Amino acid sequence: MITSTTGAADTDENAAHHSVLGAVLINYRRADLTQRCVSSLLDQVDYIAVVDNSESAAETTRLQDALTGIARDSKTIVEILVSHTNVGFARGIQLGVDVLASIPQLEAILVINNDAQLGVSAVATLWQAMRMSRGLVLVAPHETTDGVPSVRWYQRTLALVSKRRLPGSFAYISGACLLIPKQLLSTPLFDADFFMYGEDVELSWRLTRSGVALTTVECTFTHAANSSSVTNSSFYEYHTARGHILLARKLAHNLPDRIVLTLGRAITLPLRALMRSARARNLTPVHALLQATAQPTVSRKPLP
């Protein structure tokens, strides 16, 4: 069953009699990827909110056609929420969360990238891990099918992401596939200052400091990373650099700490941009870093 709206999700009379699970994902001009993602979630969750950030009536129609064909015989209700401007990941996810959070008996929401897919019973495995936890917890697949872990480490001062703990780093959990309990949905989830990249680092930092645990479980999880933003594109490089710059403010304990984090990035981000430019044989990463440094708090696409 599929509906398309900018309002609240439909509910049915059976929702009040069992625990309800929802899912939120964002589409940006890739109905093919979104179709595969939604297909993997059908009958694993009760409701799916697909936020269309495509800024195109033709792309919205393409999305509706793609999802109608796969959802027709499913018990899962699929809702397309049309955003008439590309509001980015954090704001887009919040649009879906706000709609699903009003559903009676909702227990948790799965946030998932549209270029990801879950195997059979994967949501049930994530949900069981959440139910077995003794406190509030974020639950994700342990790793993708090609071995990329969901829990990584972020070095606050030097803005380094690693698979293993480094001195001065903290664990964060990827937002590519994340089950979130209803108790954490009463306030905005991801920080809307982030357009794309860095919001999952900030979320983990904020929630773990308030006592929320990070947990992973073994289940089948496939993710084709960076499908919406091509690596080495100006869009990707700008928002990656911008995310690191914003995190200097978001992760700082106080003003002196923020100064230290900013100085650390003044060393590592230019080195990163130069290395990536040398590898790509173009200056896109360098230009993107300069743009991000000049406009670190504005969510926008850089000019070509």
Structure tokens belonging to residue 29: 């001009």
Tokens representing 239 are: 């928002």
Q: According to CATH, where is 3.90.550.60 located in the chain?
A: 2-223
When pLDDT is averaged across residues 65-88 and rounded to a whole number, the result is 89
Average pLDDT over residues 51-62: 93
* CATH class assigned to 2-223: alpha beta
In this predicted structure, which of 4-8, 30-34, 42-46, 292-296 has the lowest mean pLDDT?
4-8
- For residues 64 and 79, what is the distance between their CA atoms, to the nearest angstrom? 10
Q: In whole angstroms, how far apart are CA 131 and each of 108, 137, 184, 214?
A: 10, 9, 15, 14
pTM exceeds cut of 0.75: yes
**Of residues 135, 126, 110, 131, the one with CA closest to residue 47:** 110
What digits encode the pLDDT tens for the residues 150-166?
999 999 999 999 999 99
The whole-number pLDDT of residue 229 equals 56
Strand partners, 200: none
The phi, psi pair for 35, rounded to 5°, reads: -60, -45
Instruction: Provide the β-strand partners of residue 42.
Output: 45
Give the number of residues written for the chain: 304
Portion of the chain with pLDDT greater than 70, in percent? 89
Q: Mind listing the pLDDT tens digit for each residue in 134-143? A: 889 999 999 9
